Structure 1
Amino acid sequence: MIFAIEEINSSDYLLPNVSIGYRIYDNCGSTLSSMRAAMALMNGADATSESACSGQSAVHAIIGESESSSTIVLSRTTGPFKLPVISHSATCECLSSRTEYPSFFRTIASDLYQSRALAQLVKHFGWSWVGAVNSDSDYGNNGMAIFLAAAREEGVCVEYTEKFHRTEPEKLKKVVEVIRKSTARVIVGFLAHVEMNNLLEQLSVHNITGLQFIGVEAWITADSLVTPTSFSVLGGSLGFAVQKANISGFSDFVIKGFWESAFPCTQPNSDILMDTQCKDNLDLIETKDYNDDVPELRYSANIYKAIYAVAHSLHRLLKCKNVSGCDKMIKVHPWQVVEALQMVNFTIKNGDQVWFDSTGAAVARYEVVNWQRGADGSVEFKPVGYYDASLPPGEKFVLRNEDIMWPGGKTELPVSVCSESCPPGTRKVLQKGKPVCCYDCILCAEGEISNTTDSNGCTKCPEDFWSSENRDKCVLKTVEFLTFTETGPVCFATQRLGSPLSFVSLVFWGKL
């Protein structure tokens, strides 16, 4: 956020004679803290001060929150004041309602697309029998509901659906027990990274491994989940991740800040005042636990886009021109920023286009990533495909199956079905009290056939045909000619002629 603001403030073409200010709050994972920060921003008071509300502040937009539940509270708090809220990672589909959240925007897509894509991903690999676990929150419950509906449309059966909140350890134990006893080998985890971390810890304790996890953007690339033992549980996981975006200059900005905090010294010719000068040879061992890999940062680009969206809106409202600058006499109201945000359409310097759809969200684009071991033994989130909702049907979903590594380091696709496919010659009979994916295979009756896999019924052969031994095709009945010297036809004819209602015509071939 600071990087984007400093870049805009030094720009000659965007808000040329106007500087953007900012105030940053850490909610420490507390929704209550989010509300306090929002009220402080709207009233122009410091959130930590004891002073009374001092009136409307100069804040024109709020960037945040990270989680959907906190964002809902934040948006409802600011809604009556028509103050725009732009989130970089709140994905709950519930936030798409313009009636409830008319001033909400996001530089990330709604889970409507991700949830449906999850069902398509499961169907793509032929997994018709899966388990499902979600966070007991707005994010998890809404996302899972959309997935379950899409799974039914795709013909995927769900063995169980379990949910828990990060504050419910006893409920988590129940979820782990359900997973342990289940027969589904694939688990769809619509979880925030905190709940996923809790589940991972319990699965590791109970040594539950070898399952195929399907993940969402909230945890599939979370570095916090990577531990020495986590790969035994999550190795081979597949899921949708926010696309990486390389923003020029950002890496240098982050590294400079890191260097200054890690080594409290100043370089020659530097304008930064430090207590001591840097030594010729600095000990980098002290930084061995610094894990921020700038190229892997995914949500940073969304924050960058959000800041620029506000800047472009203000640029329009202040009638800025490159030559004369902006009209600082114009008083900008929050509701005007909301209207301007609905019309923004610009391209950032890496080529990404930024605009908001009718629900205030960005277009759905995801990378499909796979948890793999790198050459040095580290965990890598390797891209193996993508999903782009803006592309035509048939081109939205692309997967490179040959690049995927499955749980246990295997190269063979895992199987997760309730019942094996019924071969030709049989028909499916549903098992009582179980989903449609659970059935028995019954051999077709004599004179009937089925010539397709997983047939729901058998077809009767025509009158002149009978079924083959395998009951998979109809074959013409054999015609046999009998001679008059055989005793069988004579007995048959005698019996038939002995019946008063029978009229039989016999033809005997042979010499007279």
Structure 2
Amino acid sequence: MFSLFPIVPPLQLHPLLKKIQFTNSAGEDVSFHEMRHRVAHYDIHNIVKFPAGFRLLIKIGEFSSESAHDQGLVLNEEMIEWPIAFKKTPQSLCSQRCGPGFRKMPQEGRAVCCYICVICPERDISNHTDAEQCIPCADHEYTNMERNRCLPKLVTFLAFEDALGMALACVALCFSVLTAAVLWVFVKHRDTPIVKANNRTLSYILLITLLLCFLCSLLFLGRPNTATCLLQQITFGLVFTVAVSTVLAKTITVILAFKVTKPGRTIRQLLVSGASNFIIPICSLIQVALCVIWLGISPPFIELDAHSEPDHIILVCNKGSVTAFYCVLGYLGSLALASFTVAFLARNLPDTFNEAKFLTFSMLVFCSVWVTFLPVYHSTKGKVMVAVEIFSILASSAGLLGCIFLPKYYIILIKPDKNSLKALKNQCSSRGS
């Protein structure tokens, strides 16, 4: 059904017509002034212009309202004749729709349909068009690149199969083999002057302890469990305490060996009785007590780190009591500082095969590694944090091994003529003259 007549804009309706009320042929009350009933029925027409200036109204749909909650709109878009400039049905929007992965942000001072599309934050998504708010993903999930889906995170840890884990494991094993080789050479040449100097028993203890230091770094690799979390820090604290206290005992042995050349029975008795050897059990028992307190207060445990990497959950060992951990580390640092101080004071003593200089340099390397370790350790997370701790263990152990034993290893294997009684007598006679 269509009609052909000029269209009068609503603003031109005569004031008298606004007061007209009548009943149409369908029996409905009609008023131009107001709608008295909730029921409404409208025909929707499309205006089609012709070259002669006529306009044609073509019915393209209708709207009916039976009640406030039951409304119906019927529209036939195929019958609509749009001007040539329009390629498709225009949208009554101020802004383009926001697709999945974005949310609407209203523009202040403009209409409600005017907004800008903002991409969801890193851990949030939106999975429908024109989302008002983004939805956060769970801790065990992460967002895809489009920010419209939550994907499950993969559980990971510093494994032996990883490139970084494999490299650290190979370094630890290589240093372990080297330490075992040095120990074998020292045992084989145990009766030579250079091995006897400065208490060979302490040298054996230090080499065995360094071997355990290199091997304990392997506890930090692989999938963490309750046993490895407990053994990591406890083993680390104890073996390094034994190593540093052994260095302290060797330094005191150098001082006693120099003092014994002067009158005094007390110093001689201390050297003969091996009093310096008691330093190791005393220092180690103090560290054992700290570790027992640590295990009693708050022992290490397995922790799921879901925030260090966006698409992985990292299995790590939580230290438990941070205070206990730093007490163990602080006690170890105080021992290292004491060893460095004593070795530095004894570095120029005129003793045969005096290793105080090597002990001083070894403790300087040891302290430098662990002073550097603390800020780097706190600035990293996840697997990198574990790798930093392993590297510090390997570097400090290698410093002790290289600075103390490699010079002696060189003399035993490369310069055996210096490691004999004849060379020792020549050295003493030249010093005397």
Q: Calculate the TM-score normalised by the size of structure 2.
A: 0.32
Query: Bigger radius of gyration, 1 or 2?
Result: 2
Bigger RCO of structures 1 and 2 (CA < 8 A, at least 6 apart): 1
Q: Calculate the TM-score normalised by the size of structure 1.
A: 0.27
